[in-house]
Amino acid sequence: MLFWILTGAVAVVVAAGMGYAVVAGQRETGPAEAFDLQVYRDQLSEVDADAARGKIDPEEAERLRVEISRRLLAADAKVRAQDGGGAQPRIASYAMAGAIAAVVLGGGFWLYLGLGAPGYRDMPLQDRLATAQRVLQDRGSQAEAEANLPAAPKVTADEEYLALVDRLRSATQDRPDDLQGQVLLARSEAALGNYKAAYTALDNVVRLKGDNATAKDYADLADMMVLAAGGYVSPEAQAALEQALRLDATNGVARFYGGLMMAQTGRPDIGFRMWDTLLADSSPDDPWVAPLRAQIEEMAMRAGQHRYSLPPLDAAPRGPTAEDIEAASDLSEEDREEMIRGMVSQLSNRLATTGGSPQDWARLISSLAVLGDTDQAGAIWTEAQQVFATNEDALDTLRAAARQAGLTE
């Protein structure tokens, strides 16, 4: 109720001010021609004074008086015409004031009903975080998500291929511990759009491999579960994703679906950071790049990153990573340093021309520090603080790199 009282009072004050301006309408100082009258009278006085002092001859003085008097009469006629019929019609003024009040009050109310959330109380940050945590913990299972989906259209395929898949299904039922059979069945079911059957087979693959199951196995399992649930990341899919990331923190599929899950549970801020980092670490031909680029701008808006712009799709170098430096360990000292400096130079040029993510800037700072170029690292750190001055999350990433480089305490 307090919200409606305050907003209503503000709207009334605004509408009243605008309406008064329309109703009052008249210039307090009069029309512009009234000033002209005074100017022309002063000019006549000056002409008389100049003629009396002999500054102008009588003929010229008379010609000036005639011209100024003509202008004086024309201006006076305009003033009289405005005084007689120039007042704003009172009915029209009141009608316009009423229309303004209707637009301000009614239009504002209508916009709020369409864009706002009537009846909802204010949600401070702490409440929103708590709500997101509850959504994460209490969201529906994989089975519930699948049960709520409409029946998917069947994928058309060659009759011979379908017969082969049927025989494969029978074979895996007879030999459920046949690892190769389960792998082939998962691929076949996925190709036919039978995602539930595909993730069931992949679950068997993970079971049969045991401790030898890879991050890709768990990521593929989560992928099929998400597709089977219509794009929803269920708790069961989350468990597979977490296992994939435990085995390989760089797995792109798991990182993509992890960001999607955070967005679905009310934390688009975390989801955007995950996707932004993944995009910076990915090559243009990675399979998750296309769907990521199609959705990350909307994610950025939901996360409050209104200045975010999608980076160009190119194969631009990302700068040396720890793996790059490790891979160069077999080179001579001079060759290794030359290789790393070349990669650092490419990254620096890209950031200077097209910009990049906070992770790119942090990587450049760290790389320059590894090369012993602390002065340049400090200059990049200073520039990065200006680039991301309004992005606290980005500054946290950059501060960590600066501390590691010995640039800050």
pLDDT in tens, 213-268: 999 999 999 999 999 999 999 999 999 999 999 998 889 999 999 999 999 998 88
Is 179 a residue whose pLDDT tops 50? yes
Amino acid 222: pLDDT: 95
Amino acid 138: pLDDT: 79
Q: In angstroms, rounded to a whole number, what is the distance separating the alpha carbons of residues 236 and 277?
A: 25
Percent helix, percent strand, percent coil in the chain, to nearest 5: 75, 0, 25
Query: What separation in angstroms does the CA of 238 have from each of 176, 346, 364?
Result: 25, 37, 33
pLDDT tens readout for residues 397-409: 888 888 888 888 6
- Which of 63-72, 101-110, 180-189, 386-395 is modeled with the greatest confidence? 180-189
pLDDT tens readout for residues 95-105: 777 788 788 77
For residue 354, the SS3 value is coil
Q: In angstroms, rounded to a whole number, what is the distance separating the alpha carbons of residues 123 and 131?
A: 10
Q: In angstroms, rounded to a whole number, what is the distance separating the alpha carbons of residues 344 and 94?
A: 70
- Which of 128-132, 294-298, 351-355 is modeled with the greatest confidence? 294-298
- Among candidate residues 358, 347, 350, 356, the one with its CA nearest the CA of residue 381: 358
Amino acid 87: pLDDT: 47
- Among candidate residues 196, 242, 32, 4, the one with its CA nearest the CA of residue 109: 4
- Among candidate residues 178, 176, 222, the one with its CA nearest the CA of residue 199: 222
For residue 38, the SS3 value is helix
Q: Is 337 left (phi over 0), alpha (psi -120 to 50) or beta?
A: alpha
Domains plus CATH for the chain?
A: 2-115 (no CATH), 137-302 (1.25.40.10), 322-404 (no CATH)
Amino acid 249: pLDDT: 87
Is 372 a residue whose pLDDT tops 50? yes
pLDDT tens readout for residues 7-56: 778 878 887 877 777 767 555 455 566 677 788 888 888 888 888 888 88
Q: Residue 292: pLDDT band by 50, 70, 90 thresholds?
A: very high
Is residue 19 within 8 A of residue 101, CB to CB? The reply is yes
Task: State percent of the chain over pLDDT 70.
Answer: 80
Task: State percent of the chain over pLDDT 90.
Answer: 26
Is 83 a residue whose pLDDT tops 70? no
Long-range contacts of 397-402 (CB under 8 A, 24+ apart): 397/358, 397/359, 397/362, 398/358, 398/361, 398/362, 398/365, 400/362, 401/361, 401/362, 401/363, 401/365, 401/366, 402/365
- Which of 116-130, 332-346, 362-376 is modeled with the greatest confidence? 362-376
